[in-house]
Amino acid sequence: MNSDIVRMIELQRYWDTVLRCREDIEKSAGSIAFWEKRLEENQGRVLALQGTIKLSKSSLRQKEIDLAAIEEKIVKLQTRRDAVKNEREAAAVANEHAAASAERGGMEEEILLLMDDIESKNSLLAEAEKEAADVLEQSTADIAMLEERIERFRKQMDENRAKFDEGLPSLSAAVRAKFQKLTGSGNGKAIVRIDGETCEGCRVQVPVHLAGDVSKADRVMSCSNCGRFIYSG
Ligand SMILES: [Zn+2]
């Protein structure tokens, strides 16, 4: 067989491996990015819940202080009620007492609602923390496996790339530039088998005389449809 064809077939094998490795590396990197996004989302949810619980708790503390103040006011009003001098004063104290009692009722209700709210947020937080821990556990093992895989494929890719680069100068000048151009475009196939009369690169039938020549002539030929180098074998 023509030595250019032999070398091109060999180089194509290295190049196919380079492309396969590259594809696998991209896929693994995509999986790592997916895990990282999930980890970030989970962490974000936990932090957001912690923040809102903190706000609710500080609001609860303030309401409890306000409630204590109103209760103190009510006690004082009760003392004053026992010491009123006339009806007008008695009516005024009674009014104030009624208003303070209503305010206290409202505050107690708000405090209860707030406590319920904190409780339900706490259970959401517990769920979010559990999910975050689960995702962390799953992803740690998976990411380590993916990184090891990337490392392995990168090594294989580099080795094959080096062999490809080393072999390129051995091609004759007549085919080298075109070969390089074809490997760098589309699916990277520069030389393909011809199966009967069908080019395996584009699945189109080449003219019969060309197919005949490929099997007989010991020279480099190209598919009349896609332009790739063809060989029979
Ligand atoms: Zn073709």
pLDDT along the chain (233 residues), means of 10: 93 98 98 97 97 98 97 96 92 95 97 98 98 96 97 98 97 96 95 92 90 81 94 85
Cβ atoms of residues 63 and 107 within 8 Å: yes
Compute the distance from residue 201 Cα to the ligand 1 centre, in Å: 5
Compute the distance from residue 207 Cα to the ligand 1 centre, in Å: 11
**Domain ranges in the chain?**
21-156
Residue in 67, 97, 66 with CA at minimum distance from that of residue 81 = 97
Compute the distance from residue 10 Cα to the ligand 1 centre, in Å: 19
Q: CA end-to-end span of the chain, whole Å?
A: 10
Cβ atoms of residues 53 and 118 within 8 Å: yes
Query: For position 218, what pLDDT does the model report?
Result: 79
**CA gap 40, 30 in Å, rounded:** 15
Compute the distance from residue 186 Cα to the ligand 1 centre, in Å: 13
Compute the distance from residue 229 Cα to the ligand 1 centre, in Å: 8
Compute the distance from residue 228 Cα to the ligand 1 centre, in Å: 6
Predicted TM-score of the model (pTM): 0.78
- CATH, domain 21-156, list 1.10.287.1490, 3.40.50.1100, 3.30.360.10, 1.20.120.430: 1.10.287.1490
What tokens does 3 get?
Answer: 């030595």
Compute the distance from residue 22 Cα to the ligand 1 centre, in Å: 24
Query: For position 22, what pLDDT does the model report?
Result: 97
